[in-house]
Structure formats: C-alpha cells, structure tokens
A and B are shown apart, each in its own frame.
Chain A
Amino acid sequence: MASEAGLSAPDTKLSPDTVDQELAPYAASTAEWVGLSQGQLIWRRFRRSRMALIGMVVLIILYIGMLFCEFFSPYLLNTRFTDNIFEPPTLPRWVDAEGQFHLRPFIYKYDRKVNRETLEMTYTADTSKMYPIYFFVQGEPYKLWGIIATNIHLYGINDKKVPIFIWGSDRQGRDLFTRCLYGSRVSLTIGLVGVFLTIIFGTTLGVTSGYFGGRIDDFVQRFSELLMSIPQIPLWMALAAIVPVTWPPLRVYFGITIILSFLSWGGLARQLRSKTLSLREEGYTLAAKAGGGSDWWVISRHLIPNNASHIIVVATLAVPSMILAETALSFLGLGIRAPMTSWGVLLEEAQNVKTIVLNPWLLIPAFLVILTVLGYNFLGDGLRDAVDPYTR
C-alpha cells in the first residue's frame, strides 16, 4: 500500500488513514501477492510454464496407470496366447469393412499365415466377425496391490480365445500393453525409492559437511569424490553380479535400488555443501545462533528447509537418470529378473535387428522411457525456474 510504511514517530498531521483516503484516486493497484508464503509464490510461478505443466500431467497419467495396472490391463502379466506370437497391434475400430459406423469400438481377429519357404509370418485381419470391446469386463482374477481381490478389468472382449493386443504381442504371445503396465511398477518406482535414499544421504552429508567444516568436511568430500570417480557401468555390473541368484525378485529390486542411490548422492551433497557454506557465515543462520540456537536447531529449522526447494529440484532431475540406469541394467540382463518385469527387461527381449524390422511394436517400452524422462525433465526445469527467484 502506498502509505503502509510504518512511521517511526507520529510526526505529521496527516495520519496514515487520512492519507489513504485522500490518495485513493492516485494510488495504483496493490499487489495481492504480497501476503503469500514462499510455497504459494513458487506454485504461482510454476504454473506459468506450459512445458512444466505438460510434464506434470504426463507423469500423473503414467503414475495412475502404474498404480492401477492390474485393472487397466486386459490380462495378467504372464497370460499367454501361444497361437498369437509376435502379433501386431490389434487396433480398435469404429468403422467396419462396409463403412458402417459403430459407437462401440471393436476389433477384428488376425489370421496368421506362415510362408512355407521363408518362414515369414503374415497377419491379415479377418473382417468376417466383429468382436466388440466392452468396458469393465470380467476377466482373470487378480489382487489389486496384492490386497483387494477382484476380477474386473478396464476393457476386454467376450470371446476369451481371441486376444486383444492394443500394443501387439511378444515372443510368447503375451500382451505388450499389459506387460508395459506391470513393468511400469518397477521402472517408475525404482526412481522414486532410489532418489529418496539419495536425498537422505546427500542432504545429511552435504549439510553437515558444509556446516561443520574441518575434518568432517574433508572426509566427506574425499569420499564422495572417490565414489564419483569410479566408472559407473562396470561398477554396476560388478555389484549386480554380486547379488545372489537365489534371491527373490523383490529383494533383487531393493538391492539394485540401494546400489544405485549409494553411488549418486555425491552431486547433491556437493551442491548443498556449497549453499550451506554461504549461508553459514551470514544472515539468518548467524542470527539464530546469536539468539541462542544450537547447531541442531540451526540445521533443522533453517538450513534444511531453505534448501528444500533445491533438493526437490535436484531430486526431480535425478529420477530420470535412475530410471535410465535401471533400464540399462535390466537391458543388459543384470537387473530385474523374471517373473518381475520392467521396461528394461521388456527391451531386452527386443535386442535384435529382426525385431526392429519385423516387430517394431516391441520397442514401445523405449518410447515410454523417453516419455517419462522428458516428463521429469520438464517438471524439474519448471520447478527450478519457479524456485530460483524466491530464494531471497
């Protein structure tokens, strides 16, 4: 407000109230952002970046798909249609062979013909019979998240012998769409769990090393440099090879996660250390100490909350590299093992030229990885731009 300064002494005959009224026609609008907290301001600024919002929406969609994957997929993870291997995607149609429009989408069955000489398989659609797609159909029973028993699937067709593969099928006749959704459970969460651990390691070590300095600082820095200088892929391979073959898949999953996060806290720790160093000598941290605050008080109430936005940004941008790392490991056969599946495992099955030429739909998991990585990158960029101006 034009006059809201707060006067050091009631000095003139014009009190703040009269000045307000008299100046009303002269004063321009007041900023309604004045009363907002830091977090609200950041959200406002974030909203202005369209790419960041798109990224966020894409990720929300992917994560919802992941959460309810058993429901969204028409089949279970290992359901096989042995007569329909390497079948191309069965596209839902609304217009039949005669040109008639149907409201309910349907599919045509594929007939497979094998060329005797070249062993080439060709699939042609059999337009004689339409198989309508129904929603909320009853299918194979499953337990949602291992808890809720049900058998409702989002979509399916009534004839259980005719498969619907909206993204095609693989070498064993399994629906790729189903396997992608189940695989997302691993691929999308390994990044989050890993980054969570990275945050814990990186923040604790970075802030303490920056705050206390001296020997602690030296030790932590040298240790992190050591870790960061080890070549990544050979190290992963070695560590992955150490994981015993006899371990159940879930333990393997956590083992891989911990390995990945253990190697990647160095960058975050260094950034937080430098921010802490600059805050330590000046400003509000010193004021808190002057007020009698202990080291722990200063770290927990001032340093960490003020670094929180930075941490979130770094974390958001670190998730893609975790996902890519897991994908790479599984692609090389060193990561997740059957019966669990991830996008990397799916891509392992697409590891040859024949696939690219004859069955290109098997590369869809790569596209999903790209989508996720881009989504996180846009989100992270938007967050970083939103956070920066308000660190004052």
Chain B
Amino acid sequence: MIDTLKPLLEVRNLKKHFPIRRGLLKRTAGYVRAVDDVSFFIMPGETLGLVGESGCGKTTAGRCLLRLIEPTAGEILFGESQDSRPIDVTKLDMASLKSYRRNIQIIFQDPYSSLDPRMSVADIVSEPLRIHKVASGSELEDRVANLLKSVGLQAAHLRRYPHSFSGGQRQRIGIARALALGPKMIVCDEPVSALDVSVQAQVLNVLEDLQDQFGLTYLFISHDLNVVDHISDRVAVMYVGKMVELARTTELFEHPLHPYTEALISALPQPDPRKKRDRILLTGDVANPADPPSGCYFHPRCRYAQDICNTEAPSWREIIPGHFAACHFAGEINLRPLSKPLIMKG
C-alpha cells in the first residue's frame, strides 16, 4: 500500500437505523440498528472483504454505499480521482446521484431474482447503458457482446432469456450488467453464496480476472470465511451493526485481535478429516440488532468478558498499524489463530 495514495472510498461513522413502528398510529417503538457507527476505507484496486453472520449489517452497509438504502447518519466520501476532492455521497441530489451511480455498481446474491425474467440477456445487460443514454443501436449491441465475452459467455446468448441459464451463468450476466457503465468499484453482495460449489470457483475466477483486466475495486460481502480469505486483500468483521476488526487478510487469520473473530475462525469447518477438532463454541445466539446488549454487544457470548465490557462500549482503535479492532482488551489477550490445514490436494 503506497502511503501517498488516497482511498477510493472512505466511510465515516455510517449509521442506518430502521424504525420499528407499532400500533395504529405507527408510533416509533424502537430502532433496528442495522449499521451502527461504522468507519472504514477502501483503496483503489483492492478487495475489501466484509464478513459477519446474519443481522450484522454487512448487506445494509454495502447498499448504503450506492444509496440504495438511505443512510441515517455518517459520511461516505468517494474520491473520483487522486487529484480532486472527494464528494460526499450522502449529500448528493437526485441528478448527481444518477451520475454517481456510473462509478459504483452492485452484484446481488440471488441469481434467480436479480435478472428480469421477461427481458432478454441483451436488454438486461444494456439497461444501464440505455438509462444513461450512452449508446444505442448497433454500437450498443457491440458493447453488450463484448461485455458478455469478458465474463466468459458467448454473443449467441444475447437473444436468450434468463430461464435458460444456470445459476452460475446468470450470476455472470449480472456481472456483465454491473460492468456496463465502466464503474471503478463494485459491491459484491454474497455473489457466490447461492451457487453450487464447483460453480463458485468459476465465478470467483471471473471476478478476479476482471479485477486484473479493468483495475476494479471490490467490496466483497460474504458470510463464508473461506471465500473471503481467497479473494480479499483486507478483511473487516462485523457483528450486530458494529465493525469489530479490520486487518490485512493474512494478518487477521494469523493474529486475530477480537474474540469474535477468534470464534468465527474456530467455527469454520475445514475440509481435512485429520485435523483435531478443538472448537471454541460460543454460547447463545447472535444478538438482536433491535435490542442489543449494553456496553460491548458481544460481551454476553465472550469468554474473556470483564465487568467493563458490560458497561462501556469499546472504541474502534488502530492497535497495530493497519490493524483495527473494537475491544477493550485487544492486543492483551492471546487469541487462537487459524490452524492451517495439512496438505491434502491429492
């Protein structure tokens, strides 16, 4: 990482609270703190992995970056180029928002609901181009054909409809659509979670190849640590709306600083029958974002919890250069790192 390089995207104190409405008059009874004061940055050309379990807010955070969900508070600073000042996405009006959306795109999790079944592949992939009136006629068709080729599909597929494609192919169509406007960054929202194992590899390879070819930046959201490890340069871990740790990938797995990260790593099933199973098992279930515990949200399940964890929420600090964590005892407790699998590829 070159120190003089400015981040492509910087998020400061992002919050998204969904009001819970009760009663006839829809009074606000409370809030679901889906994203609760999250700050991070992404450098151009890198892949930032965002992991967490259900309800941690990773999907919401990703969508806030495109303002598909309107943030409740916080700033999202997007740096168009290294020279100009970054723009605050949260303050854009509708017209500027439309042109901002050429810079950052999204791929969805479900390949079956993310493509309009009534539109041909050509129409689906060209839609962003048509909305922005970038091209038309035969030039449009050429561009679409090229996009399909770059994701490994054929121009012959232009006239087909989504139902004749498998999950992996549909996901690639979605990727082609996301590429149409030439964005700098793509938010990948669990792009391989709904796919078969052998197909995941195809799509992951396509994403990596495209990153090399077009210099893309990815925010890769997933609950699968294996996949995130494979593709990410840095990883951020979220729990119930809070970011609890952020570090370079290898660093995160070799020297985790937050007990939740430790538990996640330990819970991961490894495809190696000879490894000793010595899991750290958490008690209880993932906390409820509408009614989180006091102090540190993780403290009821944490085996290192002390009194302070109940009363005071930990702050987000840089413990080692480039390695952030939100824990009162980060760096003081000896947490168990990932145990590497023995060589097993026969």
* Chain A residues proximal to chain B, CB less than 8 Å: 4-9, 33-38, 41, 279, 282-284, 286-294, 297, 302, 305-306, 390-392
Q: Which residues of B contact A297 (CB under 8 A)?
A: 131
12 residue pairs bridging A and B, Cβ less than 8 Å apart: A6-B172, A8-B205, A8-B206, A37-B118, A38-B163, A282-B113, A287-B106, A291-B101, A292-B131, A302-B116, A392-B117, A392-B162
Q: Is the CB of A6 within 8 A of B153?
A: yes
Q: Which residues of A contact B117 (CB under 8 A)?
A: 38, 306, 390-392
Nearest chain B CB to A106 CB, angstrom units = 57
Beyond A283-B110, A290-B105, whether A38 also contacts B118 by CB under 8 A is yes
A-facing residues in B184-222 (Cβ within 8 Å): 202, 205-206, 209
Q: Which residues of A contact B181 (CB under 8 A)?
A: 291-292
Q: Is the CB of B163 within 8 A of A392?
A: yes
Q: Is the CB of B102 within 8 A of A37?
A: no
Contact with A along B115-150 (1 / 0, CB 8 A): 111101000100110011000000000000000000
Q: Which residues of B contact A287 (CB under 8 A)?
A: 106, 108, 114, 174, 177
| Bound CA–CA A5/B199 (angstroms) | 11
| Bound CA–CA A41/B161 (angstroms) | 11
Beyond A6-B169, A287-B108, whether A36 also contacts B113 by CB under 8 A is no
Q: Is the CB of B169 within 8 A of A38?
A: no
| Bound CA–CA A6/B206 (angstroms) | 11
Q: Which residues of A contact B206 (CB under 8 A)?
A: 8
Q: Is the CB of B116 within 8 A of A35?
A: no
Q: Is the CB of A9 within 8 A of B127?
A: no
Q: Which residues of B contact A305 (CB under 8 A)?
A: 118
Q: Which residues of A contact B101 (CB under 8 A)?
A: 290-292
Q: Is the CB of B106 within 8 A of A284?
A: no
Q: Is the CB of A291 within 8 A of B131?
A: yes
Q: Tell which of B114, B131, B161 touches A283, judged by Cβ atoms closer than 8 Å.
A: B114
Q: Which residues of A contact B4 (CB under 8 A)?
A: none
Q: Is the CB of B209 within 8 A of A8?
A: yes
Closest to B111 in A: A283
Q: Which residues of A contact B157 (CB under 8 A)?
A: 6
Q: Is the CB of B209 within 8 A of A9?
A: yes
Q: Is the CB of B152 within 8 A of A292?
A: no
Size range of the chain B interface in the assembly:
35 or more
Q: Is the CB of A291 within 8 A of B202?
A: no
Q: Tell which of B108, B116, B151, B169 touches A282, judged by Cβ atoms closer than 8 Å.
A: B108
Nearest chain B CB to A186 CB, angstrom units = 36
The 10 closest A-B pairs by CB, nearest first: A283-B113, A291-B128, A284-B116, A34-B164, A6-B152, A292-B101, A6-B153, A8-B205, A292-B98, A8-B152
Q: Which residues of A contact B168 (CB under 8 A)?
A: 5
Q: Tell which of B106, B112, B132, B177 touches A292, judged by Cβ atoms closer than 8 Å.
A: B132
Q: Is the CB of A6 within 8 A of B154?
A: yes
Q: Is the CB of B98 within 8 A of A306?
A: no
Q: Which residues of B contact A391 (CB under 8 A)?
A: 117
Closest to A283 in B: B113
- B275 beta carbon closer than 8 Å to chain A: no
* Chain B residues proximal to chain A, CB less than 8 Å: 66, 68, 98-99, 101-102, 105-106, 108, 110, 112-118, 120, 124, 127-128, 131-132, 151-154, 157, 159-164, 166, 168-169, 172, 174, 177, 180-181, 202, 205-206, 209
Q: Is the CB of A35 within 8 A of B128?
A: no
Q: Is the CB of B114 within 8 A of A37?
A: no
Q: Which residues of B contact A4 (CB under 8 A)?
A: 154
Known A292-B181, A302-B116, A390-B117; further 6 A-B contacts with Cβ < 8 A: A36-B161, A41-B163, A282-B113, A283-B114, A286-B108, A292-B131
| Bound CA–CA A336/B118 (angstroms) | 42
Nearest chain A CB to B327 CB, angstrom units = 34
Q: Is the CB of A35 within 8 A of B159?
A: yes
**Residue among A34, A283, A289, A297 with max Cβ neighbours from chain B (10 Å):** A283
Q: Which residues of B contact A282 (CB under 8 A)?
A: 108, 110, 113-114
| Bound CA–CA A291/B176 (angstroms) | 12
Closest to B63 in A: A286
Nearest chain A CB to B260 CB, angstrom units = 28
Nearest chain A CB to B221 CB, angstrom units = 14
Q: Which residues of A contact B172 (CB under 8 A)?
A: 6
| Bound CA–CA A248/B274 (angstroms) | 91
Nearest chain B CB to A95 CB, angstrom units = 58
| Bound CA–CA A289/B101 (angstroms) | 9
| Bound CA–CA A288/B98 (angstroms) | 11
Q: Tell which of A33, A34, A36, A306 touches B116, judged by Cβ atoms closer than 8 Å.
A: A306
Q: Is the CB of A8 within 8 A of B202?
A: yes
Q: Is the CB of A289 within 8 A of B209?
A: no
Q: Which residues of B contact A293 (CB under 8 A)?
A: 127, 131
| Bound CA–CA A290/B108 (angstroms) | 11
Closest to B114 in A: A283
Closest to B181 in A: A291
Beyond A6-B172, A283-B110, whether A290 also contacts B164 by CB under 8 A is no
Nearest chain B CB to A4 CB, angstrom units = 8
Closest to B205 in A: A8
Nearest chain B CB to A34 CB, angstrom units = 4
| Bound CA–CA A279/B118 (angstroms) | 14
Nearest chain B CB to A110 CB, angstrom units = 60
Closest to B149 in A: A6
| Bound CA–CA A390/B163 (angstroms) | 8
Beyond A8-B206, A35-B159, A35-B160, whether A290 also contacts B68 by CB under 8 A is yes
Q: Which residues of B contact A37 (CB under 8 A)?
A: 118, 120, 161
| Bound CA–CA A6/B168 (angstroms) | 10
| Bound CA–CA A282/B110 (angstroms) | 9
| Bound CA–CA A288/B131 (angstroms) | 9
Q: Tell which of A9, A38, A279, A392 touches B205, judged by Cβ atoms closer than 8 Å.
A: A9
Beyond A8-B206, A292-B102, A306-B116, whether A38 also contacts B68 by CB under 8 A is no
Nearest chain B CB to A42 CB, angstrom units = 11
| Bound CA–CA A7/B199 (angstroms) | 11
Closest to B128 in A: A291
Nearest chain A CB to B320 CB, angstrom units = 36
Q: Which residues of B contact A289 (CB under 8 A)?
A: 68
Q: Is the CB of A290 within 8 A of B66?
A: yes
| Bound CA–CA A292/B98 (angstroms) | 5
Q: Is the CB of A7 within 8 A of B152?
A: yes
Nearest chain B CB to A153 CB, angstrom units = 47
Q: Which residues of A contact B105 (CB under 8 A)?
A: 290-291
Beyond A284-B114, A392-B163, whether A5 also contacts B169 by CB under 8 A is yes
Nearest chain B CB to A226 CB, angstrom units = 16
Q: Which residues of B contact A33 (CB under 8 A)?
A: 164
| Bound CA–CA A279/B117 (angstroms) | 12
Q: Which residues of A contact B132 (CB under 8 A)?
A: 291-292
Closest to B163 in A: A392
